[in-house]
Amino acid sequence: MVWIFPVYWMVNTAFKSRPEVMTPTPHFAPAHPTLNNFVNAVTQEQFLTNLRNSVIVVAATVVASIVLGIFAAAALSRFRFPGRRTIMVVILAVQMLPGTALLIPMFVMFNSLNLLGTYLALVLAYVATVLPFSIWVMRGFFLAIPVEIEEAAQIDGASTWRVLVSVLFPLVAPGVISTSIFAFIAAWNDYLFAYTFMQDESRYTLPVWLASFTNPVTGTDFGGQMAASVLFSVPVVVFFLIVQRNLVAGMSAGAVKG
């Protein structure tokens, strides 16, 4: 009960009209359910721009992390070579850094490169946090593939590259999907970097838009903000339910923070 209450309250508020939201005695169900809050949120001129920003940055982050990560994960799971252990430890340790340890130097560097406010700045920041755990999680999926399959292909005369692309990659495909979902959630939810790097309203991503949801004339429009929160959370909740079986494994590598 306690765990569902805040979610219920968010949804409940989202469907109420403004006078019903602002009542001294709260209504536990909307007396006159309305979609106005959702319509208002979506028709704000900023919404579409900010949605587009989010989609571009998140998509670029996911693609970059998966493409770079899958080769690294293959190397770290299928080969034994000097320095491998060190690389693994570095990958894990990066996950545990406080946000500001990357935020401050990146801000300074992007400022001197005139990159603040650009998609590239945000994508680089997200790749820094998403790529290490993508490698870690995908490596787990590679390790689950029996070696015999690979050996059979080698006996048939396939090169290392062919084994990788035609044999291993199709087998890790489900793992790649889960990893992409983790990557999506991490980048989609970020507030700290977007809030600091994207100063201009037209450059906000959705979390920053959500947090700035105030009306200068009438104060914070809680109905609207809750409706926007619902819209923002729905994709994440759906994805969470899809990958729930892999959630615990992903968490231990810091994929999705609590």
Partner 1 sequence: MTVTHNRRDWAPLWLLSPAGLVLAVVTLAPIGFLIFTSFTDYNQRTLFTGVYSGVGFAQYSELLGSGAFWISLLRTVIFTVAMVAGSVLIGMGVSHLLTRLGRAWRHTVTVVLIVAWAMPNVASSLVWNWMFQPGYGVINWLLGQLRIFGDTTGLNWSQDPALAYVSIWLLIVWQAVPFIALTLNAAETQVPPEYQEAARLDGAGELAVYRMITLQHLRPTLLLITILSVIWDYNVFNQIWLVSRGGPGDATSTLGVFTYKTAFVGFRIGQGAAISVVTTLLLLGLTAFYIRNLLKSGEDL
Site for partner 1 in 184-213 (CB under 8 A): 188-189, 191-192, 196, 207, 210-211, 213
Listing DSSP states for 96-118 in one string gives: TS-HHHHHHHHHHHHHHTT-TTS
Give least dist CB 211 to partner 1, A: 6
Q: How far is the CB of 222 from partner 1 (least distance, A)?
A: 5
* 160 binds partner 1 per the rule CB under 8 A: yes
Residue ranges in 102-141 that form contacts with partner 1 under rule CB under 8 A:
102-109, 111-112, 124-125, 127-128, 131-132, 135
Cβ closest to partner 1, residue 56 vs residue 236: 236
Contact 163, 13 (CB under 8 A): no
Cβ 143 vs Cβ 78: under 8 Å: no
Q: Which of residues 4-33 bind partner 1 (CB under 8 A)?
A: 4, 6-7, 9-10, 13, 21-26
Token couple for 56: 């571009």
Sign of CA dihedral 47, 52, 53, 58: positive
With binding defined as CB under 8 A, does residue 59 bind partner 1? no
CB 195 within 8 A of CB 208: yes
Instruction: State the helix-helix crossing angle for 119-143 and 84-95, rounded to 10 degrees.
Output: 130
Q: Which stretch binds partner 1 (CB under 8 A): 41-49, 55-63, 171-179, 237-245?
A: 237-245
Binding partner 1 (rule: CB under 8 A), the pick from 44, 99, 167, 169 is 99
Tell me the Cα Rg of the chain: 22
Inter-residue contact 223 to 34 (CB < 8 Å): no
User: Which residue lies nearer to partner 1 by CB, 21 or 176?
Assistant: 21
Size of the site for partner 1 (CB under 8 A): 94
Instruction: Name the segment binding partner 1 (CB under 8 A); options: 42-50, 52-60, 84-92, 167-175.
Output: 84-92
